[in-house]
Homo-oligomer: A and B are copies of this chain.
């Protein structure tokens, strides 16, 4: 895709953007504020700019006179960049000239850390748990009466150095026929044990050479969504991927209501069926897309939280949700995929990520493995933020974990105009330091309907840094601005006025919303601090942060630090791994070492139940401030805020 350079006046700042980027997004990228109270949807007409050179597509509003259009006046939110261009930000409503192009914090999303097959290969870790081998067996004759099975096992040793092989009854039953079908030329599928001393199992024998057809599946079993990847085990490549809703959702969106259902009558069987139906739907889609046969899938690795894993395996989840929160099992044996009703062949082995505890599940363990945290020297904070935030701190030598009950604020829950990250959700925000006019941008530039989690984070960070919110999350009562007013739920800031919104109502951020947000971020930050304290460290010892989960990809790191969600540190040391559960599952499909290492990692892992750690409560209370009671934990934030507030 072509890129173009856009220059903004009067600041003279330039930024390179992709073709089709709107001028307002380009300004945001450049760290410049343009008033846009409607969410960037072309309604409010406040984001007027003057085209000084070059041309843009669109940006014409009926609010403009023909002369204005002639002069080059455009709406920044609907004008798309197609050439190099120079644009002047105009004084909008209530803006003083000196404030044009006020600098706003540039977004620091965590850099995406992708799964690196080559480094896996270089490190000698590319040893799929299930591999295919082509063999030309010596034919039996008068001097060689070895059984078919012995012949095969010895050939595996002689030709590939593979020892200690056991053959299951299923394979033995067709072995005679299979090895003779293509004149003793066969492909043998070998499932390696986790324990080096244990026997490997031959799970499939095919006539002829099929070594180029060795596929696996990686599946993340989320409470809401199930994602799957079809993997070529020879190349390590993802051939197809996709997701679908977890059909259990019909029994409730949250894990607890599903566990309650599983305790009733045949509820457990039903929950098991629903999740396997969902997985089978994805398997079906992925296989069809790539014309891969069910018999060509040699293994499937799955990871999910502890409750999801229990429901998948039909293990009774009763004690997961009751103190003292004990799962049936945290390790799960390798099983035949058909034993848990997955629509795969008899040969397919199902591997399931172990859980640390009832609330730190296999999805987190998969993230720890997939992200490489388990083998880094750096003291690392791994965090997956959702309704529950799971935190792991440690490195190759030790690991400590806990789950924090953050509540649904990050998913828009408990926020008056909160919503999921869908079209019309305000996802980006800045404020003019003097006029307090917002620049709001919505997902898909649709009329604003509400605020999503990432938007909320940026918004609260921006309002706090601009001095509109105090440390306790209260609006500055001294602000004489019509956007800040007492509302039904206490004081509020008007983000989008009714006439410009997608709901016909004012969209506001209330002090109650902010309070809920602070509790959520406070729970997480307190969790981080508690874990650190338990292992005798503090936030300054952290050398790296790994963000996992959907929310992690959208998070603005500076805002997350400003509000005290994440500890203050160089954002370059924060990486984002996306769906850690899926990443770890895929890695297990490609590296048997991981399966061994996960056992070792589990042994190094100490799981903490925060409610049982006395200091947690203190850390929590101290975290119910922006960014924290102890400002010394956030020196840079404090400094920046003071400087910015100096503008007032």
Contacts and interface: CB of A to CB of B under 8 A. Distances in A.
Contacts of A358: 145
Given A169-B335, A199-B198, A328-B172, A145 B607 contact: yes
Interface residues of A, number: 52
B148 A327 contact: yes
B327 A147 contact: yes
Contact of A195 (B142, B176, B199, B333): B199
A141 B324 contact: yes
Nearest to A175: B328
Contacts of A329: 147-150, 167, 172, 175
B326 A173 contact: no
A327 B199 CA distance: 22
A171 B164 CA distance: 27
A481 B147 CA distance: 56
A143 B326 CA distance: 11
Nearest to A316: B176
Nearest to A609: B145
A306 B289 CA distance: 46
A67 interface: no
Main secondary structure of the interface of A (DSSP, over half): loop
Max chain B Cβ within 10 angstroms of own Cβ: one of A141, A169, A318, A327: A169
A325 interface: yes
Contacts of A145: 324-326, 357-358, 607, 609
A173 B141 contact: no
A629 interface: no
Nearest to A334: B166
Contacts of A149: 328-331
B150 A330 contact: yes
Contacts of A146: 326, 330
A296 interface: no
B325 A169 contact: no
A54 interface: no
Interface string A597-632: 000000000010100100000000000000000000
Nearest to A350: B169
Interface string A327-349: 11111110100011000000000
A635 interface: no
Interface in A97-151: 140-151
B148 A326 contact: yes
Contact of A176 (B151, B319, B335): B319
CB-CB nearest 4 A-B residue pairs: A197-B197, A149-B329, A176-B316, A147-B330
Interface of A: 140-151, 164, 166-169, 172-173, 175-177, 195, 197-199, 313-316, 318-319, 323-333, 335, 339-340, 355, 357-358, 607, 609, 612
Given A142-B609, A150-B329, 18 more contacts: A142-B324, A143-B612, A144-B324, A146-B330, A147-B328, A147-B329, A148-B327, A149-B330, A151-B326, A167-B333, A168-B333, A169-B340, A172-B315, A172-B329, A173-B314, A173-B316, A176-B315, A195-B198
